[in-house]
């Protein structure tokens, strides 16, 4: 205990040094080296490896707690939600806001889906518990659709229905990632991935991509990280927030690298319908160490319904299903029936709505070209991630100023990583508002700071 006390005192002094030098609290490489040394020395003493690992995890986590005691750190996910809540507050007060901050299609759910929802209540007086994996008929429909789309064979037992894609991601990470295990997340990235990894006390390895390289993943840097031992690699293509689609050849090489080092892949393909040409999918690659995520939210405008699904191997599905059973019991049957109707009857309306949103993205890019920003035209999704051509630009401060003075909401780049010169536009607002909203952004940039 005296040695533990000494370690924590050293940790407190280290925290001060890190703070002065602007260094992050957590150093995943140093932690891994510490754990390796502990395990090796435990082996020499005849102490069981797992006991050494548990002691090491406990000491490291307690040291981190001591180091972070006096730090007030806002997570990226909290930052994203802060802008949403500020916007909600203004709109509830009657203020008109052009909303670029929320990634939510602004069209209504298809009428067939509403009718299917009502039909459930007419047919059943009592709607009870359902299977935790999802209704068999919905899982079968999803498996059939994906098999046809990707020219492969997916079975119903590989499909799980989840309350939103976020929970599918959470269930996957909590099922397969343990404390201190490393998770590589190419950035900029949707902050929910990081939040889920932090929940299980895993270690995030950010793989930063750059505007100058067109947001391409550097495979050499990726391999350097995979060589150290990585539990999970997160892929999101088309990307939120950049709209980047990983090219087919690079996608395959990425999958091959993960297989080489035994790294599991979580492939978030929620925006796969918002593309000009088909995006590569993990389902089309020879991989048996993966979880595929998709959702009904963006395609059919069912965001608030919380209905999504994942596909994986049968053994992995059984493991993730335990998380579903424990946390949610099941997704409500009437919501699943609505999703099933969407798959069967609402596809034509979904195509029209998706086309309309993609046209709004085109309009947004044309308007952005008139103001003082640089951007890559997105290859998919319905986001644009422009860079302000201003010195010492801080997109968080800018976002709050823009909302307050001009009634336009955006998401600051800090929500997605170390990208304070950038901001995200979610192109889901009415078409008529886009030109004036972009003009207001341009005027605010001209007067910055």
Mean pLDDT of 107-120: 86
List, in sequence order, every residue forming a beta bridge with 373; answer none if it has no partner. 388
pLDDT for 92 equals: 92
Residue 119's pLDDT is 82
CA–chain centroid gap for 259, Å, is 22
Residue 170 has pLDDT above 80, yes or no: yes
**Cα Rg of the chain, angstroms:** 23
Q: How far does Cα 34 stand from its chain's mean position?
A: 30
At 30 the pLDDT is 87
Interacting residues of 89 by C-beta distance below 8 A, sequence separation 6+:
none
Model pLDDT for residues 343-354, shown as the tens digit of each residue: 999 999 999 999
Let me know how many helices (H) and strands (E) the chain has, helices first. Answer: 16, 14
Beta bridge partners of 266: 234, 291
Q: How confident is the model at residue 259 (pLDDT cuts 50, 70, 90)?
A: very high
Q: Give the Cα separation of 23 and 71 in Å (integer).
A: 13
Reported as a single tens digit per residue, the pLDDT across 139-167 is 999 999 999 999 999 999 999 999 999 99
Rounded CA separation 374/326 (Å): 46
The model's confidence at residue 357, banded by pLDDT at 50, 70 and 90, is very high
pLDDT at 266 over 90: yes
- Please state the rounded mean pLDDT for residues 273-296: 95
The 3-state DSSP class for residue 334 equals helix
| Cβ neighbours, 10 Å, residue 425 | 29
pLDDT band at 72 (very low <50, low <70, confident <90, very high): low
pLDDT of residue 71: 66
Query: Which of the four pLDDT bands, split at 50, 70 and 90, describes residue 65?
Result: confident
Find the angle CA(209)-CA(268)-CA(115) to the nearest 5 degrees. Answer: 140
pLDDT at site 419: 97
pLDDT at 191 over 80: yes
Minimum mean pLDDT range among 44-48, 111-115, 325-329: 111-115
Which residues are paired to 161 by β-bridges? 309
321 within 8 A of 171, measured Cβ to Cβ: no
Average pLDDT over residues 314-342: 95
Which tens digits make up the pLDDT trace of 18-61? 888 888 888 889 888 988 999 999 999 999 998 998 888 888 88
Distance, CA of 273 to CA of 189 (rounded, Å): 19
Q: How far apart are the first and last CA of the chain?
A: 53
Q: What is the pLDDT of residue 339?
A: 94
Q: What's the longest Cα–Cα distance across the chain?
A: 72
Could you give all domains of the chain from N- to C-terminal order, each with its CATH number?
Answer: 2-67 (1.20.59.10), 76-108+348-446 (3.90.1150.10), 124-344 (3.40.640.10)
The 10 Å Cβ neighbour count of residue 37 is 12
pLDDT grade, residue 70 (50/70/90)?
low
12 pLDDT above the threshold of 90: no
**What are the phi and psi torsion angles at 276 (to 5°)?**
-85, -30
Separation of alpha carbons 257 and 67, rounded Å:
35
Q: Over 90: is that where the pLDDT of 115 sits?
A: no
Give the integer Cα–Cα distance in Å for 269 and 291: 10
pLDDT of the residue at 73: 65
User: So what's the pLDDT on residue 331?
Assistant: 95
Q: Residue 352: what pLDDT?
A: 93
Q: Is the pLDDT of residue 304 over 70?
A: yes
pLDDT of 74 above 80 = no
Give the mean model confidence (pLDDT) for residues 80-90.
Answer: 91
pLDDT tens digit sequence for 193-227? 999 999 999 999 999 999 999 999 999 999 999 99
Q: Taking 80 as the threshold, does the pLDDT of residue 67 lie above it?
A: no
Among 171, 289, 279, CA closest to 233: 289
Using pLDDT thresholds of 50, 70 and 90, give the confidence band for residue 189. very high
Q: Of 181, 171, 154, 179, which Cα lies nearest the Cα of 263?
A: 181
Distance, CA of 218 to CA of 240 (rounded, Å): 18
Range 375-381 average pLDDT? 97
**CA 233 to CA 182: how far, in whole Å?**
9
Q: How many CB atoms lie within 10 A of CB 376?
A: 16
Tell me the whole-structure pTM to 2 decimals.
0.91
């Amino acid at each position: 205990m005296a040695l533990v006390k000494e370690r924590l005192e050293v940790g407190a002094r280290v925290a001060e040094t890190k703070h002065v030098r602007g260094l992050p609290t957590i150093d995943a490489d140093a932690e891994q080296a510490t754990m390796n040394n502990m395990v090796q020395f435990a082996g020499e003493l005849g102490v069981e490896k797992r006991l050494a690992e548990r002691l090491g995890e406990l000491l490291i986590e307690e040291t981190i707690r001591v180091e972070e005691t006096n730090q007030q750190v806002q997570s990226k996910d909290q930052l994203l939600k802060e802008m949403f809540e500020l916007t909600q507050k203004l709109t509830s007060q009657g203020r008109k806001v052009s909303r670029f901050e929320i990634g939510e299609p602004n069209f209504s759910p298809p009428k067939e889906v509403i009718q299917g929802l009502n039909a459930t209540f007419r047919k059943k007086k009592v709607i009870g518990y359902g299977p935790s994996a999802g209704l068999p008929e919905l899982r079968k429909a999803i498996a059939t659709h994906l098999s046809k789309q990707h020219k492969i064979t997916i079975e119903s037992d590989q499909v799980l229905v989840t309350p939103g894609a976020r929970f599918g991601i959470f269930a996957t990470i909590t099922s397969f990632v343990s404390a201190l295990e490393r998770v590589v997340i190419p950035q900029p990235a949707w902050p929910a991935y990081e939040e889920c990894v932090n929940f299980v006390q895993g270690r995030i390895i950010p793989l930063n991509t750059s505007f100058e390289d067109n947001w391409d993943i550097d495979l050499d840097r990726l391999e350097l990280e995979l060589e150290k031992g990585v539990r999970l690699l997160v892929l999101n293509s088309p990307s939120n927030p950049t709209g980047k689609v990983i090219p087919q050849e690079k996608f395959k090489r990425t999958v091959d690298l993960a297989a080489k080092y035994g790294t599991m892949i979580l492939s978030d393909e929620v925006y796969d319908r918002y593309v000009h040409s088909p995006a590569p999918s993990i389902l089309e690659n020879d991989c048996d160490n993966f979880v595929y995520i998709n959702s009904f939210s963006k395609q059919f405008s069912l965001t608030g319904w919380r209905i999504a699904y994942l596909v994986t191997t049968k053994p992995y599905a059984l493991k993730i299903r335990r998380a579903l059973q424990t946390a949610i019991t099941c997704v409500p049957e009437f919501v699943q029936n609505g999703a099933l109707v969407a798959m069967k009857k609402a596809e034509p309306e979904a195509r029209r709505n998706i086309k309309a949103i993609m046209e709004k993205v085109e309009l947004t890019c044309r308007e952005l070209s008139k103001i003082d920003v640089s951007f890559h035209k997105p290859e998919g999704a319905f986001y644009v991630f422009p860079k302000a051509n201003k010195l010492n630009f801080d997109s968080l401060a800018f976002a709050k100023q823009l909302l307050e003075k001009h009634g336009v909401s955006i998401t600051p780049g800090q929500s997605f990583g170390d990208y304070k010169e950038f901001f995200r536009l979610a192109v889901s607002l009415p078409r008529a508002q886009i030109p004036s909203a972009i003009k207001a952004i341009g005027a605010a940039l001209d007067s910055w700071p």
